[in-house]
């Protein structure tokens, strides 16, 4: 609608799902994953949906990792599992400040 900006007047944003990081951000700074989203959109521009899925898979994976941090969560889970395994075997002891036994502060 060229004359009425109905979405803004009603306080809704129907296009939000399309480009999350390109939306106006607080304090005028770009979103955290804006660069990844931009690479993905530039890669797929003009290719068509089927071809863009095939050719821009790496850019899309980078963008999704930035948004959801799934690979990071799996890596941290692996590290914590390894640490717990070492604690059970007696090869590692946690420092006192990780156990909640800090020295009282004045």
- Model confidence over 4-23: pLDDT tens digits? 666 667 777 665 555 555 56
What is the rounded CA–CA span in Å between residue 21 and residue 95?
A: 40
> Do the Cβ atoms of 66 and 32 come closer than 8 Å?
yes
> Do the Cβ atoms of 44 and 52 come closer than 8 Å?
yes
In the predicted model, what is the mean pLDDT of residues 48-69?
Answer: 91
Burial of 37 (0-12, 13-18, 19+ CB in 10 A): buried
Confidence of residue 47 (pLDDT cuts 50, 70, 90): confident
How high is the pLDDT of residue 3? Answer: 56
pTM above 0.85, yes or no: no
Angle at 67 between CA 64 and CA 73, to 5 degrees: 90
What is the rounded CA–CA span in Å between residue 69 and residue 87?
A: 27
How high is the pLDDT of residue 1? Answer: 43
């Amino acid at each position: 609608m060229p004359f009425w900006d109905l979405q803004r007047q009603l306080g809704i944003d129907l296009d939000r799902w399309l480009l999350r990081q390109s939306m106006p951000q607080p304090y005028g700074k770009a979103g955290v994953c804006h660069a990844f989203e931009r690479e993905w959109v530039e890669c797929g521009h003009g290719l068509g949906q089927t071809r863009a899925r095939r050719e821009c898979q790496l850019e899309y994976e980078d963008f999704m990792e930035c948004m959801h941090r799934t690979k990071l969560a799996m890596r941290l889970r692996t590290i914590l599992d390894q640490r717990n395994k070492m604690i059970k075997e007696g090869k590692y002891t946690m420092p006192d400040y990780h156990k909640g036994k800090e020295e009282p502060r004045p």
